[in-house]
Amino acid sequence: MRRQSRQKYAVHLLLWMVVFFFAIDILVFRNLLWQIPDESAWDDDPFYHFETHARHLKNNRDANEYRVLVVGSSIALYSVLTDRLESTLRRQFPDRNVRVRRLSHLGLTPLHLRAYMRRVLDTQPDLVIWPTNPVDQRLERPLMQESMGQLYAPELHVPALRDYLAADSMPEIRMSAELRARSDLEAADREAHFQNALEQRQAALDRYAQFLISGDEYRMLAPYGWMRAYHTHMDLNQLSSALLAMAFASYRYRLIAPVPVRLYLDNRFSRGRSYQNYAGVSVGGDNVTRRGWTGERFSLPFSERLHRAGLFVQVPAELMQAAQSKWGRGPGLLICRRRVQNPAAIESRLTERWPSDDCQESTRMVLHNGWQLIDLPTLFPESATHSTESLDALYFELDTTFFSEPEATRLGVRLTRNAGRDAPATYDEHRFLRMEDNLYRAYSEEQYRASFDSRILRFEREGMQYLQAIRMAKEQWALQAFDPQLPAYPAMLHVRADLGRADVPLLLINSPENPISLEWYGDSEWYNDYVLFLYNMASASNTRAPVFRIANPDGTSGEQELAPARFVDTRELLRMQFFYDYHHLSYYGAEIFTDQIGPHVARLIRQSSDNQSGKSVDSAL
């Protein structure tokens, strides 16, 4: 009897544990977790932001909204100023409620986008913009896997792109003429060599594809799409991971879940010393870098937060060393309080003539090493006053700066993540101007090349191996013929087809490239055929809907008319001074790029509307 009672208790306990697990899974990981506000800064926590933004776009749509969705990798994030493009389109289409949204994350390849298509379409886009760059295809991976020799063995002849385009279907790999001409080999030996090389090529392609679909982000962001698109390439662990992620949100989001909790706690119970991107108030003077470093001079609105809590800054060891060698003490800081007229133009006003001789109040202090609090309530006890006509501002001037190799410029102190804000900043699509943007734009070509060499091409520095691999890949692929069988290109065709079947127009853009890196492969046959591939993928004429031969969802194949698409090649659009690195645009570069693509978006909107009108007339007849 006692034994039966224990067994019954154990069964009840197990049932309660199962119920508790499912309750946590449903309540916390499917619901409560997403009630926490997204306080990630611009370009922070890419996978978490992708998830929160995809959920927001799916569940929130304005009345009569015409939604333009920008998708892609960090190329899309750094290239398109969504608010600027939205303003342009609203002026051209005043009768439409045009909203430009973005759904992107760092490292998003065409294979990611194919897996994410269900989530993309769930946001109900009326038009999709896809800026892409060869770097999105992870072309450095075959070099790192040392598989280029297997992909392009001498025994094989990979058909040129024009052979693919001329054929009714994808032709098989063919034996090269050189191999046929070798009289010292018997036919059987030739066939054996060919088959062996073909198997090695397929194995190399499989390893390449396996790497491209192996990221945790697939499980977190689109487990169903991951399995549906790539189940033939997935191993048992990946298949089981996808199934578990579809069944249990706690398993799916276990890597994302700590992010919003950490941000929420850090923004309220810490000083914001550890962060990636600055999210505080606007900074005048020399501005502030993306990582929160000031220049010699900087200025801030004297907010109630600063008057109440002061300003927390980091004085690095390099700045201390520079000050010690120059002055024999720590760096000196002049702080000036001044009334600024017209707060609506605060950023431009803060950048005006430095008012060290035009202060209401001023003070000097010597900084010490590490993080320290500048006690503004004690230094300036009178409360800051603000009105619609004027506000108080604080101007800071250091007597010493230090040279930073990663930024290749002179820097001062570092501000906290949310400096000057009364409340943490929630994620905003708006991108802010930073110190690097002004710095690079002002450089001559010679100065920029020196900066680029120091920041980007110093491959011996720690963490620079990836940039080195990208350069090697560009130079290596310039020697090859374009190969449409590499994993990224079939995925791109599927993305185009999925959007087309959903009647969503596509603007496909070959994004700008830094002239320095474009020199390595921009004139090659590979690059030109890559652009030709993109052009044909969008539309052969750019005037009518293309017809694709691609598998239909039911497994059959045949011709199908898709929604209209346009292709724009902007590879040579910008001078080198408008790039951070090989392909990420500065703020000013993004302004030019956004203005450049605006007319193409407008034409595609009109073309799409004309097609819809034509379909309505046909159906009426």
Q: What is the pLDDT of residue 410?
A: 94
Beta bridge partners of 338: 393
State if pTM tops 0.85: yes
Q: What is the pLDDT of residue 497?
A: 92
Q: What is the pLDDT of residue 43?
A: 78
Q: What is the pLDDT of residue 183?
A: 44
Q: What is the pLDDT of residue 546?
A: 39
Q: What is the pLDDT of residue 549?
A: 44
Residue 96's Cβ-count burial label (10 Å; 0-12, 13-18, 19+) is middle
Angstrom distance (rounded) from CA 379 to CA 373: 12
Tell me which DSSP letter residue 444 carries.
Answer: -
On whether the CB atoms of residues 108 and 53 are closer than 8 A, the answer is no
Amino acid at position 499, single letter: L
Q: How many other C-beta atoms are found inside a 10 Å radius of the C-beta of residue 255?
A: 13
What residue ranges of the chain have pLDDT lower than 50?
168-180, 182-185, 349-351, 540-557, 617, 620-621
- The encoded tokens of residue 18 equal 């199962």
112-128: pLDDT as tens digits: 999 999 999 999 999 99
Q: What is the pLDDT of residue 343?
A: 56
Q: What is the pLDDT of residue 93?
A: 95
Q: How many other C-beta atoms are found inside a 10 Å radius of the C-beta of residue 309?
A: 16
Place of tokens 């017809």: 547
Phi and psi torsions of 572, nearest 5°? -105, 25
Phi and psi torsions of 7, nearest 5°? -65, -40
Domain boundaries, the chain: 2-30, 58-141+459-620, 146-252, 280-423
Angstrom distance (rounded) from CA 490 to CA 114: 10
Strands (E) located in 357-440: 361-366, 370-374, 390-398, 402-404, 409-411, 414-415
Q: What is the pLDDT of residue 179?
A: 44
Angstrom distance (rounded) from CA 561 to CA 547: 5
Q: What angle do CA 138, 459, 150 make, to 5 degrees?
A: 40
Q: What is the pLDDT of residue 543?
A: 35
Angstrom distance (rounded) from CA 131 to CA 79: 8
Q: What is the pLDDT of residue 402?
A: 96
Angstrom distance (rounded) from CA 116 to CA 109: 11
Q: Does domain 58-141+459-620 have CATH number 3.40.50.1110?
A: yes
- The encoded tokens of residue 393 equal 């501002």
Q: How many other C-beta atoms are found inside a 10 Å radius of the C-beta of residue 337?
A: 20
End-to-end CA distance of the chain, in Å?
81
